Structure 1
Amino acid sequence: MKQYYTQMEAAKKGIITPEMEIVAAKEDMDVEPLRERVAQGVIAIPCNVRHSSISPEGIGMGLRTKINVNLGISGDCKDYSVEMQKVDMAIRFGAEAIMDLSNYGKTNTFRRQLIEKSPAMIGTVPMYDAIGYLEKDLLDITAEDFLRVVRAHAEEGVDFMTIHAGINRRAVEAFMRDKRKMNIVSRGGSLLFAWMMMTGNENPFFEHYDEVLDILREFDVTISLGDALRPGCIDDSTDAGQISELIELGNLTKRAWEKDVQVMVEGPGHMAMNEIEANMKLQKRLCHNAPFYVLGPLVTDIAPGYDHITSAIGGAIAAASGADFLCYVTPAEHLRLPDLSDVKEGIIASRIAAHAADIAKGVPHAREQDDAMADARHKVDWDEMFKHAIDPEKARAYFESTPPADRHTCSMCGKMCAVRTTNMILEGKKVEFCSEL
């Protein structure tokens, strides 16, 4: 007999859960409007009933833009201790979510440790883990095998799972008709496409979608509907394959809500700046205002080594236009597995993008930290400035690397500091430079 409600089921019944109260307090909003939006599906609170260390967060309409950090081992980088250091860094810099994308060997030991210690919500892509977990080649894996991996992740306490259920035969037909430069760049999507083409079968996550939802509902796991046909270069954006899959995702969203399973929908990808706003509005329209989770978008294809910047530009535009959740991108994107320095750069870039978008969207209290920084700069109070900086350690290190003669200025302008000059005049003081040389 079931002993609890999912967040969506409770919300539909008018029940305010402890998780809703925590999220409402974090967002500084009344809990009743939050409950109503969870019931409608426009806000999700990914929170597996077995993730006891979680500090719940809300994703969706009217809330702060959240960020996700990807990590995990690969066949070429197998050191779980390094990945756990990345976890510590993600938590330290306030990432609300961590996705374990490990795709080598037995990953469940690391995942269990991650879930045990992390207050951030944890996401996975079961498709990545299937080959290692099952110890089978792709062609030998059955639909039932894929469902076994989904259940295993749910039982371990994963809060949300990327399930590529939208790349069905109809979406594949559209993709095949409309030729692309980069074809399929989603790792999970490419594996499913290969499995479908080799076996001749329908996508198992689409064909057995109700069974997937039953597993997720049992543990209150949020489904993150993966965009297997997301564009991998700006030339492929907003094409037939991407839009065809998006239409399928809209239908899958409604089917999940009918079973009281919370939903997020994943989005592009690579996309020119002038297309981003229209894509955000199209996704919200086709997917019934479900929370939107974007990877980037990367606004140009020519900046390997700097893709945290191209992603932050696209992410800020996307979130200002309606996206709710940004997946970070590091300088190592397209090049290698990110190291600790890359992870930090990616987190900071995404946090800047999310915060800038929250200001643009008029999220309540989003500007308060900026106003506090402006007050500190007006007073030339360096300690107060560092306190309000996204990365206080870096800001302090830069300032102190070339210390000014007068701490009321910095080494760029010295005594010609505009703030110092104006403050002195407004205080009735005389500004003199030659006498001070």
Structure 2
Amino acid sequence: MSFTTQMDAAKKGIITKEMRIVAGKENISPVNLRDLVASGKVVIPANRNHTNLMPIGVGEKLRTKVNVNLGVSKDCYNIELELDKAKKAIALKTDAIMDLSCYGKTREFRRKLLDISPVMIGTVPMYDVVGMLDKDLKDITVDEFFSVIERHAEDGVDFMTIHCGMNRATAARVKRNKRLTNIVSRGGSILFAWMELNNQENPFYEYYDRLLAICEKYDITLSLGDACRPGSIHDSTDAAQMEELITLGELTRHAWQQNVQVIIEGPGHIALNEIAANILLEKKLCHGAPFYVLGPLVTDIAPGYDHITSAIGGAIAAANGADFLCYVTPAEHLRLPNLDDMKEGIIASRLAAHAADIAKGIPGARDWDNQMSTARADVDFKRMIDLAIDPEKARKYREESIPECEDTCTMCGKMCPMKNMKKILNGEQLVLAD
């Protein structure tokens, strides 16, 4: 039996090879996974032109996934450096990479990235529109917008962020309800400007079926972007954000009718006490579609430390049902991240995701922690370092401060409770004095 997309296959009762691979990774039966894909609660982004992809599932009952953003810009145009970042991100076990390139030979970089990446690749085609077409924003036509979408699809991109929910009604609400930070979505602000300059509807909303046809043709997962995501905790959960979310829910159902997989994108900056409500609203209004959050950042005062504010918010969001975390680096709001920034962001987001998976009761999530605890009880520093989420850093710290006794550390020394408790419980003598 033939099928067009993973969702189409699932609805027809077919278990694809991608579903079998994902099920094996996630400790879930292929049949249960197929049913979740059919219902839209799990997506498997897998463009049929991304030939070296190792498929990954995102959504309900699966491990929380982490995305890394990278890409070239006018001020930092270095394709090789960005490819090095991608290789490092893959080595650090990211689940996805988004290419946010917005200047120069974006297609050259995108194709090289797809060639080296076994993880799913996402893009925001709107970033590519002005540079690729080399035209003033006002003069870009609807057909030209879609030509960029088609090019990204042909190249093999697995998921695309498209701001379909920023229609004229939502744009009017933004203007009526003053925000502290207006629209902070780069793609959303470009689209808003085009709509204002031309006095026209959002082409991706007006011609949504045309977009869905491209997604179905290549089996691209549509990541419905949140143009109105809050850029400050002052603006979170406001009228514009909620109106757009309602629209995204309607667009989700229509995409599912065309067998197109959907992810919903979310905030952004949001206070701790609003996170659970935001997740609940997304899951209700968008019918259980996987939720992809940027952070969220829980305070606005931490330039240089936003990987921490993001990890705090990400852990709470994922524990409450968010499925996909977009990493944030220490360079957020300040500059393009370097390799070290990227590593800090990945580790912070992976920790948030893992902590949430423990809280959600994902099968096997606690196994890693139990192994680490066993190594600590055995005072086995080599094993502890090997099990660390960042063995390189753990090894460096250990080697920088060597204890007198190898089976202790320089904080506790002979007073090491792990070592001493084992001795006492084994009936051995304990000597603490020098």
TM-score, normalization: structure 1? Answer: 0.98
**Cα distance in structure 2, aligned partners of 1:84 and 1:139:** 33
**Cα distance in structure 2, aligned partners of 1:279 and 1:57:** 25
**Cα distance in structure 1, aligned partners of 2:432 and 2:33:** 57
**Cα distance in structure 1, aligned partners of 2:432 and 2:244:** 66
1:92-114 CA distances to partner (integer Å, 9 max, x unpaired)?
01101000000001200110011
Maintained 8 Å contact 2:54/2:118: yes
Q: Is 2:179 the partner of 1:208?
A: no
State the AA in 2 paired with 1:113.
Answer: K
Does the residue aligned with 1:212 lie in a helix, a strand or coil?
helix
State the AA in 2 paired with 1:250.
Answer: G
Q: Is 2:191 the partner of 1:192?
A: yes
Superposition deviation, residue 174 in structure 1: 1.6
1:338-375 CA distances to partner (integer Å, 9 max, x unpaired)?
00000000000000000000000000000000000000
Q: Is 2:99 the partner of 1:88?
A: no
Q: Is 2:381 the partner of 1:382?
A: yes
Q: Report the counterpart of residue 37 of structure 1 in structure 2.
A: 36
**Cα distance in structure 1, aligned partners of 2:137 and 2:430:** 75
**Cα distance in structure 2, aligned partners of 1:33 and 1:4:** 19
Aligned-residue CA RMSD (Å):
0.9
Q: How does 1:60-139 map to 2 (within 5 A)?
A: 60-139=59-138
Q: Report the counterpart of residue 26 of structure 1 in structure 2.
A: 25
Size of the aligned set, in residue pairs, is: 434
Q: Report the counterpart of residue 255 of structure 1 in structure 2.
A: 254
Q: Report the counterpart of residue 156 of structure 1 in structure 2.
A: 155
Q: How does 1:409-424 map to 2 (within 5 A)?
A: 409-424=408-423
1:119-173 CA distances to partner (integer Å, 9 max, x unpaired)?
1100000000001111111111011111000000000000000000000011112
Q: Is 2:296 the partner of 1:280?
A: no
Identity of aligned residues (%): 61
Q: Report the counterpart of residue 359 of structure 1 in structure 2.
A: 358
**Cα distance in structure 2, aligned partners of 1:106 and 1:421:** 61
| More divergent stretch after superposition (58-67 vs 424-433) | 424-433
**Cα distance in structure 1, aligned partners of 2:431 and 2:414:** 9
Q: Report the counterpart of residue 217 of structure 1 in structure 2.
A: 216
Superposition deviation, residue 418 in structure 1: 1.2
1:359-392 CA distances to partner (integer Å, 9 max, x unpaired)?
0000000000000000000001111111211001
Which runs of 5 or more residues in structure 2 are unaligned? none
Does the residue aligned with 2:160 lie in a helix, a strand or coil?
strand
**Cα distance in structure 2, aligned partners of 1:173 and 1:251:** 19
Superposition deviation, residue 188 in structure 1: 0.3
**Cα distance in structure 2, aligned partners of 1:272 and 1:191:** 27
Q: Report the counterpart of residue 53 of structure 1 in structure 2.
A: 52
State the AA in 2 paired with 1:174.
Answer: R
Does the residue aligned with 2:277 lie in a helix, a strand or coil?
helix
State the AA in 2 paired with 1:166.
Answer: G
1:39-92 CA distances to partner (integer Å, 9 max, x unpaired)?
000000000000011110000000000000000011100001110111011100
Superposition deviation, residue 4 in structure 1: 4.6
**Cα distance in structure 2, aligned partners of 1:173 and 1:140:** 22
State the AA in 2 paired with 1:209.
Answer: Y
Q: How does 1:228-239 map to 2 (within 5 A)?
A: 228-239=227-238
TM-score, normalization: structure 2? Answer: 0.99
Q: Report the counterpart of residue 5 of structure 1 in structure 2.
A: 4
Does the residue aligned with 2:222 lie in a helix, a strand or coil?
strand
